[in-house]
Amino acid sequence: MADEKLVKSRRRVADHGEVFTPRWLVDDMLDLVKSETERIDSRFLEPACGSGNFLVPVLERKLAAVQARYGGSDFEKRHYALFALMCIYGIELLPDNAAECRENLAGTFARYLKTDAVAAEAARTVLAANIVQGDALAMTDAAGDPIVFPEWGYLGRGRYQRRDFRFDALTQRSAASGTLFDAFEEHEIFTPVRTYPAITIDELAKESSR
């Protein structure tokens, strides 16, 4: 798009090399892995996610898949839409970009489900965990602690399971297998740092206000 803003300031370009990828190029790149972008449960990690230039289009494609498969059931549509969001991850060095990324993803999700305020709040809980402000190279968050990502699973009947894994452990497993988040059921390869009780959308929504 002609009016698409790819640079916030010259200073940010000089200090951080910050230049955003145009939408047309994002779409071309995602088309190279089209089948994965249209899988609701495929997991995407953008290690320099900016304000969501890649992640928002990925979510849009996933939500289109949700609509095609579950659009006839409000219950399934709602829960699989949130699961699609749960499978998107990002790391961003700059705090304003990380906040914008969360807002852009939350806005895309909310527009899809329209008047579902509870699901929108649950989405904010998910994004607070999935979009991390930190340094992808050092694998540390803004506080200098190891980055931890949640693995979300949809159990059916409106319930989700969360397990947290250290990013550095995931990349070690990736080096062995070739894919960052594949075959999570092979739990013997690495151990979660925390496992949570199953949770519902309503319970996730309540956590966003804490």
The reply to whether 2 falls in a domain is no
Q: What is the mean pLDDT of residues 94-100?
A: 94
Q: Is the pLDDT score of 187 beyond 60?
A: no
The reply to whether 163 falls in a domain is yes
Work out how many domains the chain is built from and give that number: 1
The reply to whether 190 falls in a domain is yes
The reply to whether 97 falls in a domain is yes
The reply to whether 122 falls in a domain is yes
Tens of pLDDT, residue by residue over 10-65, are 554 443 444 557 788 888 889 999 999 999 999 999 999 999 999 999 999 999 99
Domain span including residue 143: 10-207
The reply to whether 4 falls in a domain is no
Q: What is the mean pLDDT of residues 191-196?
A: 94
The reply to whether 36 falls in a domain is yes
The reply to whether 1 falls in a domain is no
Three-state secondary structure call for residue 204: helix
Distance CA 153, CA 162 (A): 6
